[in-house]
Amino acid sequence: MRSDVVKKGIARAPHRSLFKALGFIDEELARPLIGLAVAQSEIVPGHVHLYTIAQAAAAGVRLAGGIPVQFPVIGVCDGIAMGHEGMRYSLVTRELIADSIECMVMAHGFDALICIPNCDKIVPGMLMAAARLNLPTVFVSGGPMLAGKKDGKPLTFTTVYEAVGAVATGNMDEGELTALEEAACPGCGSCSGMFTANSMNCVTEALGMALPGNGTIPAVMAERLRLAKKTGVLALDVWKKDIRPRSVLTETAFMNALALDMALGCSTNTALHLPAIAHEAGFTLDLDRLNQVSAVTPNLCKLAPASATPIEELHAAGGIPAVLGELAKKALITLEAATVYGVLGDSVETAVNRNTALIRPIEDPYSPTGGLAALKGNLAPEGCVVKQSAVAPSMVKHEGPARVFDSEEAAFDAIMGGAIKAGDVIVIRYEGPRGGPGMKEMLAPTAALAGMGLDDKVALITDGRFSGATKGAAIGHISPEAAEGGPIALLEEGDKIAIDIEGRAITIKVAAEILEARKAAWKPLPPKVRTGYLARYARQVGSAASGAILQD
C-alpha cells in the first residue's frame, strides 16, 4: 500500500502516534487509506450539504474495507461573486484547488482518492488534480438543485438576474422581483440549469471518472446518498485493480466528453476546462477539435438557459446514459472507452430515453451541429467561443457597430442606463485571464439584456467569459485578449463587427492598414491588480484559447 510510507515499520512509530491522536487503531492502520477531498462550505448552496455526501461515501469505503479520511477543499460561489470584484477570484481557484489537493495527497500518503465537488471551478480543479497525481480516483458530486416554482412555472437562478433588467425597463416592479428572489433557489445543490457546474458534472460521467447519475441526480434525493455509498465501495475496487486516471482520461474519453457537451448544449466554460484537464493528462485539446466534434454531433437537448427546462427533468428522462445512448446510435461516442467502473457502454446498456421531447432522438435533433462553436477571424485570430444552441436564429448572423467598454461595470451601467440599442455589438475588453485579471463571467450584463428583451437584438463579445446561465449572442474568450494587444484592444466606438456563427467567423470591418496603425500606437492599460494572488496569476496565465493554463 502506498500509505505504508506514513504508517508501517519502526521508523513510522512517530507517524502512527499522530494517527492515534486522531483516534485510529492498529486494525484501521492496516487498511488502505482513502482520501476524501470534500468542498464542503457554508457559503456555496451547491456545497452546503457536501458533508452529508462525504459521510455516505465514507460509509461505502468502510463497507468495502478501507479507511476514509476527509480533508477540505475551497470553492467560490460564482453567483455570489458575480458582478463585483469577487468574480476575479473564481476561475483562479481552479489552479489553487488542483495544487492544494496535490499537496494534501502527496504529504499524507493516501492510497486512493474520492473527489466530492459540485460547483463551477471545483469540478475541473479536482479533475486536473486527479490527472496530475494519477492515483486511483473516483468522483461523486453533490448534485443539482431542484428548480424553483412560481405560478406553476420552473425558475432558475438566471430568472432573477433577467428580472433585474425587466425592472430597469419598467416591465416588472420590485415586488415581483422580490417574489422571484424568494422562490428561484429552493435549497441545496448546484444551480438548476445546464450551467457550468452541472455541465462539468455531466461531462465527468462521459469522461468515465464517475458513476452514472453523477451529473443529474438531484441533491436532495436519497438516490444521491446511495450513489455516494456506491462510489465509496467503487474507490476500493479501483484501488485493488490499480485503475489510474490517465488510463481513463484518454483522448477517446475527451472526444466522448465533447460529443456529450455538444448534445447537451453545455456551458462555454467547458471550452476552458476540458483543455486544462487534458493538459494535466498529457495532451493538447484545442478549439479546432471542438469544432470538429460540433460539426458532426447534433444538439439533442435544450435545457435552461436555452429553455425553461431544469436539469432535474433530464434525470427523469434517463439522464446522461440516455443521451449517450442516442449518440451511440450513430457511433458518435466510443462505448469501449475505459471508465472507473468498466467501459462507457456499461452505462448505456440499460439506458432508456423516457422523454423524447426532452432528449431528442438522434434522427430528430434540434440542430445537426452541437451546442458550442468556436469562431475565428481578424478579431479573434486564436479563437473565441459561443453557446450557439442558446442564440436566437435572428442573431446567428449579425453585423453592427461596436459599443466599446474597458470593463464589465462600465458596460453594465450603459445597459441599465438605456444606452444600448438594437443592432449594437457590445464589446467588453480588458477582462481576459491576464487583463481581468481572472477572466470574469458576464452574467449580469447578458441577463440584463435578456430582461430588457434585447438578447435577440444585441450581440456581446468579450475577452472575458460567460456564466453557463448566459443566453443570447454572447461570444467569449476572444483571444488574444486586450491586455496582450489582441485585435479586440484596437476596436474603436462605431467600428463595424460582423458575426457569422454558422460560418465560424468573427470579423472587424476595418481596413488592415488602419488596424496596423492602431496597433503601433496601442499602449496597454495599467494592471488592475498589482499585489497578491491575482497579480501572480496574471503574470503566469496563458491564453483562454488554450484553457487559461498557468505557464511554467
Which of 3, 192, 467, 543 is an active site residue?
467
* Distance between CA atoms of residues 482 and 461, nearest Å: 12
With 0-12 / 13-18 / 19 or more C-beta atoms within 10 angstroms meaning exposed / middle / buried, residue 502 is exposed
DSSP string across 115-132? EE--STTHHHHHHHHHHH
What SS3 state is found at 430?
coil
Interaxial angle between packed helices 196-207 and 122-133, expressed in degrees from 0 to 180 and rounded to the nearest 10: 30
HSE-CB for 6 with a 13 A CA cutoff: 16
Answer whether 49's CB lies under 8 Å from 126's CB: no
Provide, for the chain, the percentages of residues in helix, strand and coil under a 3-state DSSP scheme, each rounded to the nearest 5: 45, 15, 40
The residue with cell 447534433 is 298
Number of residues that make up the chain = 552
Buried b (16+ CB within 10 A) or exposed e, 61-86: bbebebbbbbeebebbbbbebbbeee
DSSP secondary structure string for all residues of 301-319: ---TTSSS--HHHHHHHTH
Q: What does the block give as the cell for 85?
A: 470584484
Kindly state the helix (H) or strand (E) to which residue 534 belongs, with its residue range.
helix 532-540
To the query of whether residue 247 is one of the catalytic residues in this protein, the response is no
Contact 314, 216 (CB under 8 A): yes
Residue from 58, 42, 45, 37 nearest 225 by CA: 58
Cell 471551478: give the residue: 121
In whole angstroms, how far apart are CA 222 and each of 15, 97, 200, 225, 318? Answer: 38, 28, 22, 5, 17
Cell numbers found for residue 467: 456564466
Phi and psi torsions of 475, nearest 5°? -115, 115
The DSSP output letter for 515 is H
Distance CA 362, CA 364 (A): 5
Q: Catalytic positions, please?
A: 467
